[in-house]
Structure 1
Amino acid sequence: MVVQLDAVRRLLRRLLTSEVDLFVASVIIVVAVLLGVLVARVLGGLLTDAGVPDEVEGTLFERTAQRLGTSTVKLVSRLSGLFVIAVGTVFALQAAGIVNAGLLTEGLTDLIPRLFIAALVVITGLVVGDKAELVVGERLRSVKLPEANALPLLVKYSVFYIAALVALGQLGVATAALLVLLGAYVFGLVFIGGLAFKEMLSSAAAGIYLVLKEPYTIGDEVVIDGQQGIVQEVDVFVTRIESDGREFVVPNRQVFETGVVRMRN
């Protein structure tokens, strides 16, 4: 009889303990959900007030997000909210006895922040890369050189590549391997870029000399490589001359190669 009473007491104690644990776990999940929603809303408001929507407007990532019915700001804020909810869920599982403390400490608490940071880095890299492409393309729009069209894409994918390396580092990829990949990329970028943009770089060097020394200025009548006209603009890459309603765009390297004749009135 005594043994049976002890068994009943132990059973009741386990049931009560389980109910308390489940109640605590439920409270933790509810608090985590509420806190996650609050974080998402507050962060979304802060990003909007900081002008992030205007900065990412027109980027490929933002246009893709809008086609999916969302935006960059919403994605980042919701991702932050989900991170809070995920952390709260892990603690709730521990409180309910489903996940032991060792696994919580060594596994999930380390993995979840890494996943969050990696996702945030990828999103930031995509947005910054798209924005960099737009900015560089806008700056080089007036440059009438074939090589200039490839430079915005090169900048864009360089940002993507660096963001991918950082994200992989957060996911535990060996740092040494990432450094080797980064070194190989930089070497290839310098070597291949130097060959591909040789003429553009020579035009830029010549343009800097022309801007500083001013062998001719706007309004001068010149002859460059057989083209005679009035100088309309001199920038780092090209010289624009106009004659009889026609505009000639001459790469600055060509000025050095063929020489320039300045007509005197």
Structure 2
Amino acid sequence: MCGLLTAVTASALPTVSPHSPVPVQSEVLTPLVPFLPLAVFGVILLVGGVVSYALISFNRRLLERLGVPETVEGTAFERSVRRLGVSTVAILARLSGYLSFVAFVVVGFTTLGVDSVTAVSTVVVAFLPRLFVAAIVLVVGLIVGDKLGLLVDDRLRGVKLPEAGLLAPVVKWSTVYVAALIALAQVGVATTALIVLLAGYLASVIVLGAVAFRDLLASGSAGLYLLLTEPYAIGDRVRIGDVEGVVQEIDVFATHVESDEEVYLVPNRRAFTDGVARKLD
């Protein structure tokens, strides 16, 4: 009976051949499991680097085709960044690429499974688009401010009044100030504070402008009156105060009078304060 039971038990057990394969796949992969998040993080960084480089190259070519280098040429911002070995186009293109790479880095950190890092990464990802828009607004504000300042300076170049030289910087920095306020609004600064700052700035500009440009405004008002009523015209011989000669040009702010091979630029307000004498033919 014991021999029969031993035979039955032996036949019920599986026979293991010494040449049968041993399952070792799980044993090999198990030590690598803790390193999988790091591997995923590395892959995300690699993809982010490639995408960011491609984005920088694409945006650079796009900005060049849109004529941005010619538009910003000669501005103070372009000259400043040129001294640093870069250009406005390069800065705009790199901004998008760098922010894109930062977004990939933040997403990569979420794969590491650290709760605190994940929470911070979520906040950063939500904040990056606003930061990008704020940076673009600030750069564009600096460029537009420079262009407007150059335009005003070019328009007023022929006006030989001391106050005229102050108008271009006021226009430039006013534009930059408004752009800075918009940029601050993008990154979450309180709107009420921005409105108060803007109102205070506008009030100060109006007050200081009225004081600093009172002679210029008076000349402009007088110039409009002279252009509309035409008490004298180009070619007339006039005397304005102690200046006598032939009128060569009349603009909003001044009258050009030629006398003895010299051209005098007479502010139009002097036509009211000193009077005008026109010589009859």
TM-score normalised per structure 1: 0.89
- C-alpha distance in structure 2 between counterparts of 1:247 and 1:178, whole Å: 49
1:109-258 to structure 2, matched below 5 A, reads: 109-258=125-274
AA at the equivalent of 2:218 = S
- 2:105 aligns with 89
AA at the equivalent of 1:93 = F
AA at the equivalent of 1:260 = V
AA at the equivalent of 2:224 = I
Cα distance change, pair 10–167 in 1 and its aligned pair in 2 (3 A): farther
- SS of residue paired to 2:269: helix
- C-alpha distance in structure 2 between counterparts of 1:96 and 1:26, whole Å: 11
Larger radius of gyration: 2
- 2:38 aligns with 22
Number of equivalenced pairs? 255
Cα offset for 1:149? 0.7
Matched, 1:54 2:63: no
Task: Judge which range, 233-242 or 52-61, deviates more.
Answer: 52-61
Cα offset for 1:118? 2.4
* CA-atom RMSD in angstroms: 2.0
Comparing both chains, which one has the higher relative contact order based on Cα–Cα distances under 8 Å and sequence gaps of 6 or more? 1
Does the Cα contact within 8 Å between 2:109 and 2:121 map onto a contact in 1? no
- Counterpart pick for 2:90 among 62, 68, 74: 74
Matched, 1:64 2:80: yes
- Counterpart pick for 2:59 among 15, 21, 43: 43
Cα offset for 1:192? 1.5
Gaps of 5+ in 1: 1-8
TM-score normalised per structure 2: 0.84
Q: Percent identity?
A: 45
AA at the equivalent of 2:104 = G
- C-alpha distance in structure 2 between counterparts of 1:151 and 1:10, whole Å: 78
AA at the equivalent of 2:128 = I
Give every structure 1 segment of 4 or more consecutive aligned residues whose post-TM-superposition deviation is greater than 6 Å. Answer: none
AA at the equivalent of 2:221 = A
